[in-house]
Amino acid sequence: MDQEVNKQNVGNQSRSEERMQDALSITRHEFAKFFEDFESRCGELVCPMCRTSMWLVPSREDNPELMAILTLPLPLSSGRGMWVYPVFCKECGYLSNFASNHVAAKIRGK
């Protein structure tokens, strides 16, 4: 029984690492295409504060081609958080976030 649990833990860990690598490898170009496709299906994403629809997609400091990632802390889970891709309104700076694991899976077709 312990071996089965251990194999399951190893499998979960490798899937988690794969999702993490997928999220880290998303380029700004890939995200922009995802964003444009989303808007073509669902309508323009309008800023809830100023009602404009011009969004900026920040890059990582270590590689300007890759998407910036923010970590949102999880309550009562010290050292843990949820990764999100930020986009912000060009007019007023309102910040909107997209769950990186969800977006990366959509982009990578998983």
Give residue for tokens 């986009």: 87
C-alpha closest to that of 55 among 87, 26, 86:
87
pLDDT at position 28 is: 97
pLDDT at position 79 is: 87
pTM of the full predicted structure? 0.83
Residues of the chain above pLDDT 70, percent? 89
Asked if residues 99 and 84 have their Cβ atoms less than 8 Å apart, the reply is yes
pLDDT at position 98 is: 98
pLDDT at position 1 is: 53
Give residue for tokens 């073509």: 40
Structure tokens at 49: 């504060």
pLDDT at position 5 is: 45
99: which residues sit within 8 A by CB, 6+ positions away?
A: 82, 83, 84
Report the C-alpha gap between 79 and 94 in whole angstroms. 26
DSSP one-letter code for 61: S
Instruction: Work out the average pLDDT over 65-94.
Output: 95
Mean pLDDT, rounded, of the chain: 90
